Amino acid sequence: MKNIKIKCPAKLNLTLEIVNKREDGFHNINSIMQLIDLYDVLTISIQKADKNSISLSGNSNNIPYDSSNLVYKAANLFFETANLDGYSTDIYIEKNIPISAGLAGGSTDAAGTLYGLNTIFENILSLEKLHKLCAKLGSDLNVCLEGGCLLATSRGEKIQKLPFISMPVTLIKPKNLGISAKEAYTKYAQKTFKPKYNYTEKMVNALHNKLPIESFLYNDLEYAVFDDYRELQFIKSQIPNAIMSGSGSTYFVLEDVKTTLPENYLVIKNLKFIPNGISKTE
């Protein structure tokens, strides 16, 4: 039997600007994404068997442990692509990243699965091939695999490294509110006014010139859903410079938060930007 533990970091959207809707139903975006030191941990165990099988388990009661899980789909795609047969795979998912939160928890676990299996099988697939598999599975996987600070375009799978800066992060999430990407993008499409601030381009320039980035934090999907949820409005009233990540419902602020929020809000402090992505545990 072979075992490996993989750290799968959460991501933030420092900017998220929607360019247009694509013919395939997805949206083209311009987004600056940054990985942070909040991790899910995968324990992957492989042993020889008569045929391939994949079994999932974990510490969360809020995710499926069947073929609908992106981790299962990633493992299945890996074995098909690498043309490997006769292995029993067990993956334990330690969830620490909030679910339906705009932090790429499912995507980073799937990317971590590809990375972990490829490591067990001595890098049978090239990094370029892993990125192609990531792009097949979803929009944020490539960012999570690569890590650091990245400009993500197309539907999020095309990435370009940006200069890394170190910053503190606090996350704030309504405990009982999750917002799906489908809902957020649908509500954005229904908006008659769609602002075009070009904050992504401005932040890219700021990063290259080592200038402050805080004034360019922005998310079109926050604009799309903000009026529909008093929980989001409450966060903004208490922490005006907080910005939503992804489709929400997590907000973040690039500082330590002193404000005390009610018990129905999850606050995760003492986080920071990290320069890397998926990795093995020490």
Active site residues: 11, 140
Question: Length of the chain, please?
Answer: 282
Which residue has tokens 């602020």? Answer: 253
Distance CA 46, CA 2 (A): 5
Distance CA 66, CA 69 (A): 6
The answer to whether the CB of 150 falls within 8 A of the CB of 162 is yes
Q: Specify burial of residue 1 (Cβ count, 10 A radius: 0-12, 13-18, 19+).
A: exposed
H-type alpha helices, the chain? 70-82, 105-120, 127-137, 141-146, 181-190, 199-208, 220-225, 230-238
Closest CA to 276 of 37, 59, 29, 61: 37
Distance CA 41, CA 281 (A): 8
Write out the two tokens for 91: 């993956």
Write out the two tokens for 109: 């676990």
Which residue has tokens 């045929």? Answer: 51
The answer to whether the CB of 261 falls within 8 A of the CB of 232 is no
The answer to whether the CB of 203 falls within 8 A of the CB of 14 is yes
Q: How far is CA 275 from the centre of its chain?
A: 15
